[in-house]
Structure 1
């Protein structure tokens, strides 16, 4: 059920079946970098390294949330993840139909209407180049953004479906450079499904344009484990005040589906770009 929609938000015409499930049309300004998260009522998005399937646990594998995940992927030219996300999901494929197979034909129709490739390109960011080469997502094909040392470590280990992009000789990657490289391949609409640390870097550099947040009616709690919220590795308040504008709000049962616009900005002169540490 649609609760609120910014009348000025851009809209593409979705195939009728997708529009019916979503409760209207969906679109983005281009270029656009947007992220998708599911969070518990107390703000937890990751349960810790000992619980790799955090998203599914927090969402309860709610079909409406999985549909939105699939729809956001179907709208994207590329899906961006970090190496930690890849390793935590050993059987996952970052395609629309993987999370919501019932709408596979309609997702494909949307991509044809938008003149997109059959599937979004998977982009894996890893400074270290330490990746599970046998992962089915890599076997299917991915773009690997890494350092010179990471590229050397990966040489000859990945299937020919993968493309390795060495982006510097240092021990870390500069996130704006990674995004510029992805866009140079013609990808104007990029979905981030990376974890809180990489998203913290996107927010810190002012290059995340929109956030989709599913609020799940579950309490996660915190005790002796590290349980991140949306952003990790970056402190904002009280020194830095960042706000977001609500674009839309939808409800399904006790779940809320929220969409926000962030005030994107480029780092000012003298500002050091956030870097992806070796992983």
Structure 2
């Protein structure tokens, strides 16, 4: 997930190249602009359509430090330039960037664009999108069941697609900038992420990147919607005591009754940071489960 912005006037530190450690043979490859390929350590590509998520985690598996620490991602990563470069690259590959209302509120100055998180590669991110015949920026998609959003947020002023319920759309009427599109996707109190993904595909968004928090990712995994995970492992220990510090999946218990496996398809490093890419395999019975398989939840929904 994206962390907060740098202090105004701060000069970005340039990333050092990632060192490839492993790449699964036969992965699809898009030809990256030379500067991006040099930093990434090769080309990058996807099978389409694809929904992929990006997280940074501590060595002990913490991705969020709790509501009193909204800058969790930057704190855990130490604002590592290579991590920020990769975040920008994954945004540059996306047609849409999906976040929840909580992520929007936790990053009051952020813009979910490639160049915002790593300005030194702005021109090359733009070249990649031009080469792929994509608009200058991916569309920001904000998921909110209630419609409780900070209407003054700069990301909303720049334009976003707001996926919500009928009641949420009523609450947002006349409150959000005209650059936003409000998309009601159900009359109930909750919002099904499968409906959100269907709406994105109907808008031509084959490549969707989730930078939402652990609760939304738990819903994506629960419904079998998430295809890939990019995970930066930061060489720090976060620890847990009396506060809620989530791993990357929250609100969903899997083991021992449901086994969600993944294949490691790429590994890179920069100093003591690891940059891992996994393909999710979907649920299968766990050991000792007598062959029973827990099916994906029906009607999983996204709230605030």
Q: CA deviation at 1:263?
A: 1.8
Q: 1: CA distance between counterparts of 2:159 and 2:296? A: 37
Equivalent position of 1:235 in the other structure = 253
Equivalent position of 1:167 in the other structure = 185
Question: Measured at CA, do residues 179 and 264 of structure 1 come closer, stay the same or move farther in structure 2, by a change above 3 Å?
Answer: farther
Equivalent position of 2:241 in the other structure = 223
- Deviation string 1:227-269 (CA, Å, 9 cap, x unpaired) is 000100000000001110001000000000000001258xx99
Unaligned runs of 5+ in 2: 1-18, 284-293
Q: Which has the higher contact order (CA 8 A, sep 6+)?
A: 1
Unaligned runs of 5+ in 1: none
**From 273, 276, 279, the counterpart of 2:302:** 276
- Are residue 96 (structure 1) and residue 110 (structure 2) matched? no
Q: CA deviation at 1:273?
A: 2.3
Equivalent position of 1:198 in the other structure = 216
- Deviation string 1:116-159 (CA, Å, 9 cap, x unpaired) is 11000000000000000000000000000000000000000111
Equivalent position of 1:135 in the other structure = 153
**TM-score normalised according to structure 2 size:** 0.89
**TM-score normalised according to structure 1 size:** 0.97
Contact 1:207 1:264 in 2 (8 A): no
Give the secondary-structure state (helix, strand or coil) at the position aligned to 1:110. helix
Equivalenced residues, count: 276
Give the secondary-structure state (helix, strand or coil) at the position aligned to 2:275. strand
- Are residue 17 (structure 1) and residue 35 (structure 2) matched? yes
Q: 2: CA distance between counterparts of 1:273 and 1:8? A: 35
Give the secondary-structure state (helix, strand or coil) at the position aligned to 2:260. coil
Compute the RMSD of aligned alpha carbons: 1.3
Equivalent position of 1:251 in the other structure = 269
Equivalent position of 2:69 in the other structure = 51
State the 4+ residue runs in structure 1 displaced beyond 3 angstroms. 268-271
